[in-house]
Structure 1
Amino acid sequence: MEFLIAPIIVALLASALALTISILDKHVNNYGDVEININKGKKVLDVKGGDKLLTTLSSEGVFLPSGCGGRGSCGACKCKISTDIGPVLPTEKPYLSIEEINNNTRLACQIKVKKNLDVYIPEELFNAREFSGIVEEINDLTYDIKEVIVSIGDESIDFVSGRYIQLVVPPYGKIKESTQRAYSISSKPSERNKVAMLIRLVPDGIATTWVHKYMKVGDKLRLIGPFGEFEKSDCESVMICIAGGSGMAPFKSIFHDMLEKGEIDREVWYFFGARTTKDLFLLKEFQEMEKKWPNFHFIPALSDCSPDENWDGEQGLITDVLDKYLKSKITPSKHKEGFLCGSPGMIGACINVLNDNGIKDIFYDNFA
């Protein structure tokens, strides 16, 4: 039993020490007034030093993506810092390539503002902002996926289908601090006064527990964004789209946007993987889309259904179904692009299948 207790005690002591150091640093060290120069003078911020760069920027209305809420576990809040701020931290290295490190890319959530900084962020991030919203609808799509529709009233959000938004989760229950999590936008860009998300319950997940067990219609909340680079290309290539679970969200937005704009000449194959019929949702919506869009093909597949489910669709792992269709049903002569959204494991396996079938142009949005 001792071999289990000892590591736990060490971890607790290390956490307590890190917290103590952080508190002492904040109260003992006074870094004074600091200037943050963004994109060579595009925006210059005069701020108080001492806080993390991610937090400092957001307090000034400059928002970087952060799927983990600044915990250093997603690697999304990257920016270039030309000022010498010391070596890359061990907490940053897993999320930075050698090229990024050589280009002075850092994680804003891991950098403390201690002196004047010269920072570069992508220009499109200046369009990200904070929205106040009211929960308009909460719809149960499956036993563990809810559709949340948020009205942002007279405000208007401008985004490209495929982007994501950060949901600010307030303190609740034993959770004493607010946090943020990233969710793909499932509504159409033309619906400018609302934001819809598909949120799957993650066991012990701070944000998803709040959404599934505490959130109510009429609740006020905050959203930050839009963020991301996931979107359809403007070429005529065949779109091979693969999703699982709440990974359906960006595709729901993309397909409805294409249909609304009359882009129905483009050939689209949408593979959706699930375990059983209990995990399927929005089937009728996409089957209706097939009727309006002759070049749109929806292929749901179940990997673990039982005979009593009376499922007459595709069965097997989504990778096997995908491979079968690429080899037998989808025209081999046309150029194809892959679009994926789901767990890292699913994405990795599907990339292998796409590559094996000669598809090299692949875009994806993975869940951390």
Structure 2
Amino acid sequence: MNTIITTTVTITAITGILAFLLTLADRTINNYGEVKIIINNDKEYIVEGGSSLLSSLMEQKIFIPSACGGKGTCGYCKVKVLEGGGPVLPTETPFMTKDELENKIRLSCQCKVKQEIKIEIPEELFNVKEYEAIVESIEDMTSVIKKLRLRLKEGEEINFKPGQYIQLKAPIYKGNDEEVYRAYSIASPPYHKNYIDLIIGYVPEGKATTYVHKILKEGDKVSFNGPYGDFYFHDDNNREIVLVAVGTGMAPILSILYHMKENNINRKATLYFGAKTPEDLFLLDEIKELESILPNFRFVPCLSRITEEHNWTGEKGRVNNALEKYIIDGDNKEAYLCGNPPMIDSVTAVLKDKGIPEEIIYYDKF
């Protein structure tokens, strides 16, 4: 018995000593002091060294897209590191193309700030802000999709382009021991600057979607940052518009349509929306209203799991089948796609085959 007690005490003491030494080492060996970050050769920030570039920039209220919260699993937080970033890590290379590696692109969540570092980021990221809002409403769109309206604090506004997204923060809650950010497209019109709408589907065990669907209530406070994204509507031409979405990919497409309505953009436009059954269709009243206001807009829902009991007389199959049927050629057309990667890839292939140039097929994969 005495031997067991002695052994336990010895192991505890050794563990305590090792923990102390590790802490001491972290505070001394890894004490980089104050370090300068130089951005785009004209902005300088002094930060405490040792943290990731992503978190160091966030402390300066400069927000880089990062859907995984800085864990190196999404590949969103890319920046160009000109000097001082150290070698590229194995955790970064799976997310990089050959061209990106040659052009000094890094994952900012994996790159540590240990010395003076020079980076380049898009100027529009300086317009990204962090917002606090109140959940004004939560509506069930389907059994697995909710629509949220987030009202900004009095006097605050958000400026965004139709099609862009924000990052919503899911805080610590029972079953989730860490704060995480997840990207969601803005579904509301850009001309309403004091609130945003989000359309969020439930993903089993998803930290953010569980928070939204199981925990969040009307009247709660939430935090988000944005706007982000180079997927947005281009209104500098008169090309016919092909819109394609599945599920919650409806969100940025709605924002684009509201923008067209507000600005009297009467270009010919067709929305092909993919779902499984009629129960998966939502916001039909809003879309019907848009059809009545926009003279050249048409809505084509496509259902892939129809039975005789549904009495469905519309398009059957996936959206790419409807595109094959209705698009004769790609002459003077551009496209905006939002949905899962398989849909985006299959639809892009169809549109390219129809003759729409790849550079004017804009998409947002999620």
Question: Paired residue for 1:355?
Answer: 352
Contact 1:51 1:113 survives alignment (8 Å): yes
Once residues 222 and 314 of structure 1 are traced to their aligned partners in structure 2, the CA distance between those partners, rounded to angstroms, is 40
Contact 2:53 2:109 survives alignment (8 Å): yes
CA-CA distance at 1:95 after TM superposition: 2.0
Contact 1:26 1:50 survives alignment (8 Å): no
Aligned residue type for 1:51: S
Once residues 298 and 315 of structure 1 are traced to their aligned partners in structure 2, the CA distance between those partners, rounded to angstroms, is 14
Once residues 114 and 87 of structure 1 are traced to their aligned partners in structure 2, the CA distance between those partners, rounded to angstroms, is 12
Question: Paired residue for 2:3?
Answer: none
Once residues 286 and 57 of structure 2 are traced to their aligned partners in structure 1, the CA distance between those partners, rounded to angstroms, is 41
Question: Paired residue for 2:57?
Answer: 57
Pairing of 1:256-335 with structure 2 (within 5 A):
256-264=258-266, 266-327=267-328, 332=329, 334-335=331-332
Q: Check if 1:338 corresponds to 2:338.
A: no
Once residues 238 and 248 of structure 2 are traced to their aligned partners in structure 1, the CA distance between those partners, rounded to angstroms, is 27
State the identity %.
45
Question: Paired residue for 1:40?
Answer: 41
Q: Give the TM-score normalised by structure 1.
A: 0.89
Once residues 145 and 23 of structure 2 are traced to their aligned partners in structure 1, the CA distance between those partners, rounded to angstroms, is 38
Match for residue 245 of structure 1 among 244, 247, 269: 247
Once residues 148 and 251 of structure 1 are traced to their aligned partners in structure 2, the CA distance between those partners, rounded to angstroms, is 16
CA distance 1:33–1:230, change in 2 (3 Å): same
Pairing of 1:6-85 with structure 2 (within 5 A):
27=27, 29-41=30-42, 43-85=43-85
Residue segments in structure 2 that go unaligned for 5+ positions in a row: 1-21
Question: Paired residue for 2:256?
Answer: 254
Aligned residue type for 1:365: D
The alignment partner of 2:125 has SS state of helix
CA distance 1:140–1:70, change in 2 (3 Å): same
Question: Paired residue for 1:5?
Answer: none
Once residues 277 and 103 of structure 2 are traced to their aligned partners in structure 1, the CA distance between those partners, rounded to angstroms, is 46
Once residues 238 and 25 of structure 2 are traced to their aligned partners in structure 1, the CA distance between those partners, rounded to angstroms, is 55
Give deviations 1:1-35, integer Å, cap 9, x for gaps: xxxxxxxxxxxxxxxxxxxxx98985552111111
Once residues 144 and 345 of structure 1 are traced to their aligned partners in structure 2, the CA distance between those partners, rounded to angstroms, is 20
Give deviations 1:108-136, integer Å, cap 9, x for gaps: 01111111111111000000010011111
Q: Give the TM-score normalised by structure 2.
A: 0.90
Question: Paired residue for 2:113?
Answer: 113
CA distance 1:23–1:255, change in 2 (3 Å): farther
Contact 1:164 1:228 survives alignment (8 Å): yes
Give deviations 1:64-88, integer Å, cap 9, x for gaps: 1112222222221111111143332
Q: Check if 1:198 corresponds to 2:196.
A: no
Larger radius of gyration: 2
Question: Paired residue for 2:177?
Answer: 176
Give deviations 1:156-187, integer Å, cap 9, x for gaps: 00111111000011100121111100000001
Once residues 117 and 126 of structure 1 are traced to their aligned partners in structure 2, the CA distance between those partners, rounded to angstroms, is 18
Contact 1:32 1:49 survives alignment (8 Å): yes
Question: Paired residue for 1:146?
Answer: 146
Residue segments in structure 1 that go unaligned for 5+ positions in a row: 1-21
Give deviations 1:187-206, integer Å, cap 9, x for gaps: 11111100110000011100
Once residues 333 and 319 of structure 1 are traced to their aligned partners in structure 2, the CA distance between those partners, rounded to angstroms, is 14
- In the comparison of the two structures, how many residue pairs are matched? 340
Aligned residue type for 1:149: R
Give deviations 1:76-111, integer Å, cap 9, x for gaps: 111111114333222212222222211111110111
Once residues 286 and 23 of structure 1 are traced to their aligned partners in structure 2, the CA distance between those partners, rounded to angstroms, is 59
The alignment partner of 1:263 has SS state of coil
Once residues 27 and 210 of structure 2 are traced to their aligned partners in structure 1, the CA distance between those partners, rounded to angstroms, is 33
CA distance 1:26–1:316, change in 2 (3 Å): farther
Once residues 280 and 23 of structure 1 are traced to their aligned partners in structure 2, the CA distance between those partners, rounded to angstroms, is 55
Aligned residue type for 1:260: E
The alignment partner of 1:248 has SS state of helix
The alignment partner of 2:223 has SS state of strand
The alignment partner of 1:171 has SS state of coil
CA distance 1:353–1:209, change in 2 (3 Å): same
Once residues 224 and 112 of structure 1 are traced to their aligned partners in structure 2, the CA distance between those partners, rounded to angstroms, is 23
Q: Check if 1:155 corresponds to 2:156.
A: yes
Contact 1:240 1:269 survives alignment (8 Å): yes
Once residues 272 and 25 of structure 1 are traced to their aligned partners in structure 2, the CA distance between those partners, rounded to angstroms, is 57
Root mean square deviation, CA, Å: 1.6
Aligned residue type for 2:238: E
The alignment partner of 2:224 has SS state of strand
CA distance 1:27–1:275, change in 2 (3 Å): farther
Question: Paired residue for 1:6?
Answer: none
Aligned residue type for 2:260: M
Once residues 219 and 59 of structure 1 are traced to their aligned partners in structure 2, the CA distance between those partners, rounded to angstroms, is 25
Contact 1:165 1:183 survives alignment (8 Å): yes
Aligned residue type for 1:271: Y
Aligned residue type for 2:177: K
CA-CA distance at 1:333 after TM superposition: 7.2
Aligned residue type for 1:324: K
CA distance 1:347–1:115, change in 2 (3 Å): same
Aligned residue type for 2:343: M
